[in-house]
Amino acid sequence: MTTKVFVDGQEGTTGLKIFEYLSQRRDIEVLRIDEAKRKDVAERGRLINASDVTFLCLPDVASRESVSLVEPGNDKTCVIDASTAFRTDDNWAYGLPELSRAQRERLRTAKRIAVPGCHASAFVLSMQPLVAGGLGPANFAAHAYSITGYSGGGKKMIAEYEAGGDARLMSPRPYALGLTHKHLPEMSVRSGLARAPIFTPIVGPFLKGLAVTTYFSPDQLARPAKPQDVRAMLAEYYANEPFIRVMPFDAESNLDNGFFDVQACNDTNRVDIFVFGNDERFVTVARLDNLGKGASGAAIQCMNLAIGADEGAGLQS
Annotated catalytic residue 118? yes
Is the Cβ–Cβ distance between 49 and 74 less than 8 Å?
yes
Tell me the Ramachandran region of residue 65: left when phi exceeds 0, alpha when psi lies from -120 to 50, beta otherwise.
Answer: alpha
What is the SS3 assignment for 46?
helix
Distances (CA, A) of 67 to 48, 64, 70, 112, 156: 9, 5, 6, 9, 26
β partners of residue 145: 200, 213
Task: For 9-40, give the DSSP string.
Answer: TTTSHHHHHHHHHHTT-TTEEEE---GGGTT-
Q: In whole angstroms, give the CA distance from residue 38 to residue 299.
A: 21
Instruction: List, in sequence order, every beta strand (DSSP E) within the chain.
Output: 3-8, 28-31, 53-56, 78-81, 93-94, 112-114, 143-148, 173-174, 198-203, 210-216, 244-246, 271-277, 282-288
Identified catalytic residue from 57, 118, 265, 302: 118
Q: In whole angstroms, give the CA distance from residue 290 to residue 292.
A: 6
In one-letter notation, the amino acid at residue 64 is R
Of 113, 111, 10, whose CA–CA distance to 52 is shortest? 111
Residues that are catalytic: 118
